[in-house]
Amino acid sequence: MLEKIYQSIESIYPQMVEIRRYLHQYPELSFKEYKTAQYIANFYEELNIPYQTGVGGNGVVATLEGAKPGKTIALRADFDALPIQDEKDVPYKSKIDGVMHACGHDGHTATLLGLAKVMKSYQDKLPGTIVFLHQHAEEYAPGGAKPMIEAGVLENVDAVFGNHLWATTPVGTIETSKGVFMAGADRFEIKIQGQGGHGAYPHETKDAVVIGSQIVTQLQQIVSRRIDPLETAVVTVGVFEAGNAFNIIADTARLVGTVRYLNTDIQEQIIEEIERIISGICTANDCSYTLDYKKGYPPVINHESEATLILDVASKLPEVKQAAEVIPSMGGEDFAYYLQERPGAFFFTGAQKEGNPYPHHHPHFDFDERAMSIAAKTLISAYFAYQEK
């Protein structure tokens, strides 16, 4: 039956492209994906597949029960966009100013909707139950996965699988890991309160720019000098705001950054080091500070058996030239929460578009749409393989 399903996926591929391009033109930000959620719900309504809306927020969950007994397996796609101006010159360019699908979530949604339409036609031969998880708000912590899980989407689910179209990897590549696959991702914000004054009289001030600069420099030494070289971590300051005139010494500064890690012990060590560095520098400069550290998504840790299953089924697809285990990515993903609750695996589907070298979260981001059919085939292959476990 799988070969026939593959053929059906190929036949519906043009509709997947149509869905993806429509969604690309009408993106919505995290926690504001109302029209996208309604679009997904309408699709399942037309298919006559039972669904729920408003799950954990804007989530949509559809359930296709097969005619034959079997396991219940969830397949997940996210559908939120990013606050980025779309700068591509394509017919399906975003029509929403300052909002763009710059990470492929439109493709994830189109993949799962297309697969749902295909599998509806095989319902009378289908063993088990497919749960289609359409998750909102992956891009912005606290994310949509956790509230959807709390709403009960994994009840009676035996395993869960998810895919990410990966625009920096060639089409025909499937990548995953049999353990840690993606990093934990945290956010921190530091506010420094110094003492402003005239640029000509620095001795009468506590220069927040200089103090902030010292903190930025010292934070870079956490990974290079405080963390075991055999561990993996990132500390990045992405925002430094201070001052508003060339001849005024700033009294306040604001630093915002991210911490990435694979090991929770390293996460705790970094938090301690950040606090120690800020406290020491501010004490030395006789100023005050606040640190707001928010723990974000935990690491994505695949289950070995399910990750092996993904590699096995992908390697049998003619379109897949390489199915490989890779080192972890330092990107974050709230798919991690599903894997804390159920066996499963997350994987990358190569989607590099010829002539478009831009990475995820870039204003020119795009992907090769052929990857959607490969992702659909891999997901449904994993579904059937898991039925036999």
pLDDT tens digit sequence for 178-204: 999 999 999 999 999 999 999 999 999
* CATH number of the CATH domain containing 105: 3.40.630.10
Nearest to 381 by CA among 157, 214, 163, 153: 163
Same domain, 165 and 52: yes
Same domain, 198 and 231: yes
* CATH number of the CATH domain containing 270: 3.30.70.360
User: Which tokens in the block code for residue 123?
Assistant: 């319902």
Q: Would you tell me how many other CB atoms lie within 10 Å of the CB of residue 161?
A: 28
The counts of H helices and E strands in the chain are: 9, 16
Same domain, 218 and 364: no
DSSP state for residue 298 in the 8-state scheme:
P
Number of domains, the chain: 2
Domain boundary among 270, 297, 324: 297
Q: Is 24 annotated as a binding residue?
A: no
Q: Is 105 annotated as a binding residue?
A: yes
Same domain, 202 and 104: no
Backbone phi, then psi, for 197, in 5-degree steps? 175, -170
Same domain, 135 and 188: no
Domain boundary among 254, 269, 297: 297
- pTM metric for this prediction: 0.96
Q: Please list the helix, strand and coil fractions of the chain in percent, rounded to the nearest 5, in that order.
A: 35, 30, 35
CA distance 316 to 378: 10
Mean pLDDT (whole number) for 32-58: 98
Nearest to 75 by CA among 158, 12, 8: 158
Give alpha helix (H) positions in 26-136. Answer: 34-47, 105-120
Same domain, 352 and 284: no
Nearest to 110 by CA among 319, 357, 374: 374
Q: Is 304 annotated as a binding residue?
A: no
Active site residues: 80, 138
CA dist 117 → 127, 132, 312 (Å): 16, 11, 25
Nearest to 61 by CA among 181, 142, 160, 140: 160
Q: Which structural domain, as residue segments, surrounds residue 284?
A: 184-297
For 133-170, write each residue's pLDDT tens digit: 999 999 999 999 999 999 999 999 999 999 999 999 99
For 102-125, write each residue's pLDDT tens digit: 999 999 999 999 999 999 999 999
Same domain, 170 and 53: yes
Same domain, 310 and 355: yes
Domain boundary among 282, 297, 312: 297
CA dist 362 → 22, 63, 334 (Å): 20, 34, 20
| Confidence bin at 389 (pLDDT 50/70/90) | confident
First to last CA, the chain: 18
Q: Would you tell me how many other CB atoms lie within 10 Å of the CB of residue 75?
A: 25
Same domain, 365 and 305: yes
